[in-house]
Amino acid sequence: MSLPLEGLSAIVTGAGRGLGRAEALELARLGAAVVVNDYGQSGRDGSGEASAAPAEQVADEIRAAGGKALAHTGDVADHQQAEELVALAVAEFGRLDILVNNAGILRDRMVFSMTEDEWDSVIRVHLKGHFNTTRFAAAHWRERSKAVGGPVYGRIVNTSSEAFLAGSAGQPNYAAAKGGVVGLTTSTALALARYGVTANAICPRARTRMTEDVFEGIGRPEQGDEGGEGLDPLAPEHVAPLVGYLAAPAAGRVNGQLLVVHGGMVAIVERPRVQAKFDSKQDTFTYDELDALLTPHYADRPAGETFGAVEVLGLRRG
């Protein structure tokens, strides 16, 4: 029996640790050849011994398990290096089939204290990084489609966040970047559907090096606790199977979607809907008319309620 991703090739960005590592290992387990991307070169460990770059360590791990993998240590937020990453996958494996955008950083601070660099760096890595790789992968699929005269195989899995869905007071840069990722995803899904390519976004909740401060104090289960075999509900391994599914042929009809995933739970987020509509009785609204319509409409709303879906933070495996 063949594996669902057998014969396909993938790129996973930010795959040296945490979520990206778990996703790269899962894609390889399902049969894909993987380019493991993570920014950073070889260095030395605490004892002064030479150590391989994180991307190289994960690629070694995949090969040791019998899979195909190679490492790329470039910066996906750099346009040229992102182009080189896609070109590497095509040159090594003959084509690119799957792109998983995961690379990111945090620079948390309240909006009134945030520096320009803290804003720019997060937007650059998350949002521009997603765009850069998507741009060159999309061009590759479009060219392949034109060459064969029909649809080809292509899957994009982008990484958004509940910080965008619910709002996160101390992460205006991160929430904005992750909201932008959703906009990029839905636009890409519509643009590439004709070529046979799907694009979806996930909002994972996981304990990684990047989020250790966010989830500090949330305990890990002991052996035998609910959730099975003592696996941390926030373990990245809860997220990786969904990425594998979205990358597979079985998910061909899943496109332009946003899914929340963590702790043995997947939730599909419904698109925004119009809650109310008001029409002016004149050619255009006046201040007084808007006051008469909108002020009563909001008068009984719960204090603090916004467009943000705070209830998503309460989702748990039931």
Q: Establish whether 178 is a catalytic residue.
A: yes
> pTM here?
0.90
| Per-residue tokens: 222 | 């002991």
Q: Establish whether 174 is a catalytic residue.
A: yes
Confidence band of 173 (pLDDT split at 50, 70, 90) = very high
Q: Are 19 and 208 in contact (CB under 8 A)?
A: yes
Tokens 């002016």 locate to 280
Considering the chain, what percentage of its residues have pLDDT values greater than 70?
90
Choose, from 9, 153, 168, 178, the residue flagged as catalytic.
178
Please state, as a whole number, how many other Cβ atoms lie within 10 Å of the Cβ of residue 158.
Answer: 25
Choose, from 39, 153, 174, 195, the residue flagged as catalytic.
174
Choose, from 9, 160, 161, 168, the residue flagged as catalytic.
161
Average pLDDT of the chain, as a whole number:
91
Classify 46 as helix, strand or coil.
coil
Rounded Cα gap, residues 260 and 267, in angstroms: 5
Residue 218: what pLDDT?
44
Rounded Cα gap, residues 90 and 247, in angstroms: 17
Higher pLDDT, 226 or 138: 138
Q: Looking at residues 70-86, what average pLDDT do you find?
A: 98
Least confident of 61-70, 178-187, 209-218, 280-289: 209-218
For 212-240, write each residue's pLDDT tens digit: 554 444 444 444 444 445 677 889 999 99
Which residues does 209 contact at the CB level (< 8 Å), separation at least 6?
17, 18
Residue 115: what pLDDT?
98
Rounded Cα gap, residues 274 and 252, in angstroms: 29
Rounded Cα gap, residues 58 and 55, in angstroms: 5
For 93-110, write each residue's pLDDT tens digit: 999 999 999 999 999 999
DSSP tag of 206: -
Which residues does 114 contact at the CB level (< 8 Å), separation at least 6?
107, 172, 173
In 30-128, which ranges are continuous DSSP H helix? 54-64, 79-93, 116-122
Rounded Cα gap, residues 117 and 109, in angstroms: 12
